[in-house]
Amino acid sequence: MITFGVCLIYYGLALLIYQVNGWVTDGRWIAFPIARAWEAFLGTPSFASPVVRGAVHWLLSWPLSLALLLIGVTILCAVFGLRRLGEMRRRRQRRRWVEEQCAALGYQPWDLPKLLSEIERDGLSEPAPRGPAAR
């Protein structure tokens, strides 16, 4: 999804640069509304309700470059936000598991930092064996 979001951002920027280039070189702005892409891929939209028709017409009149940029940024924000939420959830579950294990061993939550520092110190103080010469 990250690649898809980045590609949409690049396509939006490329289209915007193409439009700006046409404006600078020829002196005219080449409009690319979403409707042109919609019609190219899906055909002409038709809706029975006039309210829906007006909303869709308003939406399809937006610049395609802006829409591609917004969709790409939205996808990237959603992916990174969901990753961050997953990381926070894993940390919360890990903390809960450590607290349960410490409670089962008789430690209180305020003893946890001291316990963890003891475990780290004991783990670091034991020298690791090195190859066949250590035997």
Domain spans, the chain: 2-94
What Å distances lie between residue 121 and 2, 99, 117, CA to CA? 40, 20, 6
The pTM (predicted TM-score) of the whole model is 0.65
Helix, strand or coil, per DSSP, at residue 108: coil
> Which has more confidence, 95 or 25?
25
Residue 63 bridge partners (DSSP): 33
DSSP code, position 63: B
Closest CA to 17 of 73, 55, 68: 68
pLDDT tens by residue, 80-134: 999 999 999 998 898 888 778 877 877 776 777 777 777 777 765 555 555 565 5
Q: What is the mean pLDDT of the chain?
A: 84
Round the CA-based radius of gyration of the chain to a whole number and report it.
Answer: 29
**Torsional sign, CA 69, 74, 77, 82:** negative
| pLDDT value at 41 more than 80 | yes
| Element at 11 (helix H, strand E) | helix 2-26
